[in-house]
Amino acid sequence: MVGKGRSPPKQRVQLHGGCFRTGSLGEGRCADGSTPCGCRRSGIIEWNVWIKQSIATLTFGLDPELVTGVWEGGYNFFCQDTHSGGEADMKIIRVLWWYYFSKLIEFMDTFFFILRKNNHQITVLHVYHHATMLNIWWFVMNWVPCGHSYFGATLNSFIHVLMYSYYGLSAVPAMRPYLWWKKYITQGQLTQFVLTIFQTSCGVVWPCAFPQGWLYFQISYMISLIILFTNFYIQTYNKKASSRRKEYQNGSTATVNGYWFAESLHSSVQQLQCSK
């Protein structure tokens, strides 16, 4: 009870993501009675899933619009300038603006990694790819917002629908055992880079009014991504697959229905430790 002449302590209640906080200095509890750590993690995961699905939904809508604009403008696959498509150019510009906006949302991944303390995911590849894409597309939208710029964005939007759908599902622990197709997304990304180099090179061999400097820059940038993503693929899939085969032979890893659960088990243990 509060004695006479004493005012009750200030109480603070915050609701977010099925979580409430009450108390004078941050005593936090989740709605189900779990600890503050689990509460914060729950809210972060919810926002992370929302971001992933927002990007997947946004990029899913970009591809049909880009393909339609290219068809309507009679774009030349080998080389297309930035001023001969008429109204189709304006349509492409509007769609590519949303594509540029999606790069900003994607960059937020880094902040979610920090909040979830997934520092191992903040790699050179991750920072380089997301930071450079955001800046490069700022220049694209200011100087070459249509024409030959459409091709890479079209391929990238398709790959990102698959990739962010995967990441959104992977945030749900119950779905992780069924997500065996991550390496095929990386293969798709590498294929995208090679196709973009081929199409960009066409603009160099059969030039048009599209700035040649941008074409050479894009080829160089795609080569840098191929090097980094190939290294990631080798480190993530080839070496881990070899290591898991050895563990399996030693009887240290269990398999169920042909799927490996070592990574899922590690993630589950981390979540349990956080909720204690």
Range 56-71 average pLDDT = 86
What mean pLDDT value characterizes the chain? 76
- Kindly tell me if the per-residue pLDDT of 73 is higher than 90: yes
DSSP type of residue 238? I
pLDDT, position 53: 62
Can you tell me the distance from the alpha carbon of 152 to that of 139, in angstroms, rounded to the nearest whole number?
15
pLDDT, position 212: 96
Lowest mean pLDDT among 136-140, 191-195, 270-274: 270-274
Greatest mean pLDDT among 10-24, 36-50, 143-157, 238-252 lies in 143-157
The per-residue pLDDT for range 205-249, each reduced to its tens digit, is 999 999 999 999 999 999 999 999 999 999 989 876 666 655 555
The better pLDDT of the pair 14, 203 is held by 203
pLDDT, position 142: 95
Q: Integer distance in angstroms from the first to the last C-alpha of the chain? A: 31
Range 159-179 average pLDDT = 86
Element containing residue 19 per DSSP (H, E): strand 19-21
Range 114-123 average pLDDT = 71
Sign of the Cα torsion 144, 215, 104, 185 reads positive
Range 84-106 average pLDDT = 91
User: Which residue type does 115 have?
Assistant: L
Range 192-213 average pLDDT = 97
**Cα–Cα distance list, 273 to 37, 114, 140, 264 (Å):** 9, 18, 46, 14
**Cα–Cα distance list, 206 to 75, 147, 198, 203, 216 (Å):** 14, 14, 12, 5, 13
Helix locations, the chain, DSSP H: 36-72, 87-107, 109-115, 124-143, 150-170, 182-205, 212-233, 239-249, 262-275
Residue 248, CA atoms < 13 Å, CB-side half-sphere: 14
- The token duo for 28 is 């936090």
DSSP type of residue 29? E
- Kindly tell me if the per-residue pLDDT of 203 is higher than 60: yes
Can you tell me the distance from the alpha carbon of 186 to that of 232, in angstroms, rounded to the nearest whole number?
9
pLDDT, position 246: 57
The pTM assigned to this predicted structure is 0.70
pLDDT, position 46: 60
The model's confidence at residue 110, banded by pLDDT at 50, 70 and 90, is: confident
pLDDT, position 127: 87
CB 150, CB 66: distance < 8 Å: yes
Spatial strand order in the sheet of 19-21: 14-15, 19-21, 28-30
- Catalytic site residues? 129
- The token duo for 177 is 């055992």
pLDDT, position 59: 74
Residue 149, CA atoms < 13 Å, CB-side half-sphere: 27
pLDDT, position 9: 43
Q: Helices 212-233 and 124-143 meet at what angle, rounded to 10?
A: 160
Give me the percent of the chain exceeding a pLDDT of 70. Answer: 64
pLDDT, position 42: 54
Range 161-181 average pLDDT = 86
